[in-house]
Amino acid sequence: MPSPLVEVRNVTKRYGALTVTRDVSFSLEAGEVLGILGPNGAGKTTLFNVISGDVAPESGHVLLSGVDVTKLRPHERCRRGIGRSYQIARPFGGLTVFENVLVAALFGAQSAGADANARAVDVLDLTGLRSKANRLAGGLTLLDRKRLEFARAMATDPKVLLLDEIAGGLTEHEAAEVVAVVRSIKERGIAVVWIEHVVHALVAVATRMLVLAAGAKLAEGDPKDVLASADVRRVYMGIEA
C-alpha cells in the first residue's frame, strides 16, 4: 500500500511538567481536508509546530510520503511540501503584499525569476488579494491580513497546507470566503489541515474531523459523527451529555 501523504505517529510533546501533546497519531491523503477542533490550550498549535518543525517532540515521528522528516529543520520541511500559516500573522509590514508573497515563493518554493512572479500572482488571485498587491502589508485590515497569511503559505507550493485559525475574528460572510478558498485548494489536490474554532466554517469543507482535548485525541472521523459524539459535546462545546 502506498504511504499516506502525511503521517503523524505517536507524537508526544512536553513543556516542563506539562504534556501538551499526548501520543497523537493521524494520517492524511492528498485532497483531504482535516478539521481540527479543541478548546483553548488543547495543543492544536503545538501539533502544527511539531509537523512544521518549529518544535521538536519528545517522542514520535512525522512522515511525508513515507519519508521520516522528524529531524529536518522547518525550511527543509517547507521545501519538501509542508506549508503553514501562523495563528498570529507576522508579515513583513514594510513590504508590499506582492513582495511578501514573492519572498515566500522565492525562499519557500525555491522558484526563481519569472516562475516566482507567476506563482505570486497566482496565489494573490486565489486569495483575492490581487487588487491590493501594492499595498503595504502593515496597513491591511484583519481579513486581508488573514488572506495574506494564507497567500504566503500557498506561495511555498505546499503538498500539505496547515492553517491555524485563519477564520478567527472574521464576519460570517468573510469566513465563507475563506471556506471557498480552502475548497479551491482542496480541488488542486493539496491536503489541508485546518485548526478552527469557527465550527460551521470547518464543517462546510472538512472531509474528516479530529478533536483534541488536553493534548490527546478525543475523537476522529466523519465531521457529523464527531460533532454528534457525546464526548465532544461535553468537552468541546461545554454541553452536558
- Decide: is 19 part of the binding site for ligand ATP (CB under 6 A): no
The Cα 120–Cα 152 span in angstroms is 9
CB of 39 to Mg ion, least distance (A): 10
Closest to Mg ion by CB, 45 or 127: 45
- Decide: is 134 part of the binding site for ligand ATP (CB under 6 A): no
- Pick out residues in 46-105 that bind ligand ATP (CB under 6 A): 46, 87
Which of Mg ion, ligand ATP, none has residue 46 at its interface (CB below 5 to 8 Å by kind)?
ligand ATP
Residue 12: strand, helix, or coil: strand
Q: Which stretch binds ligand ATP (CB under 6 A): 27-35, 41-49, 67-75, 77-85?
A: 41-49
- Decide: is 38 part of the binding site for ligand ATP (CB under 6 A): yes
Which of ligand ATP, Mg ion, none has residue 20 at its interface (CB below 5 to 8 Å by kind)?
ligand ATP
Return the number of other C-beta atoms located less than 10 Å from residue 241's C-beta: 9
CB of 166 to ligand ATP, least distance (A): 12
Whether residue 197 contacts residue 165, with contact meaning beta carbons closer than 8 Å, is answered with yes
The Cα 216–Cα 182 span in angstroms is 26
Whether residue 28 contacts residue 179, with contact meaning beta carbons closer than 8 Å, is answered with no
The Cα 75–Cα 133 span in angstroms is 25
- 8, 20, 97, 192: which one binds ligand ATP (CB under 6 A): 20
The Cα 160–Cα 15 span in angstroms is 27
DSSP string for residues in 22-53: EEEEEEE-TT-EEEEE--TTSSHHHHHHHHHT
Which of Mg ion, ligand ATP, none has residue 42 at its interface (CB below 5 to 8 Å by kind)?
ligand ATP
Characterize the bridge pairing of strands 208-213 and 216-221. antiparallel
CB of 85 to Mg ion, least distance (A): 11
Which of ligand ATP, Mg ion, none has residue 105 at its interface (CB below 5 to 8 Å by kind)?
none
Which residues sit at the interface with ligand ATP, rule CB under 6 A? 15, 20, 38, 40-46, 87
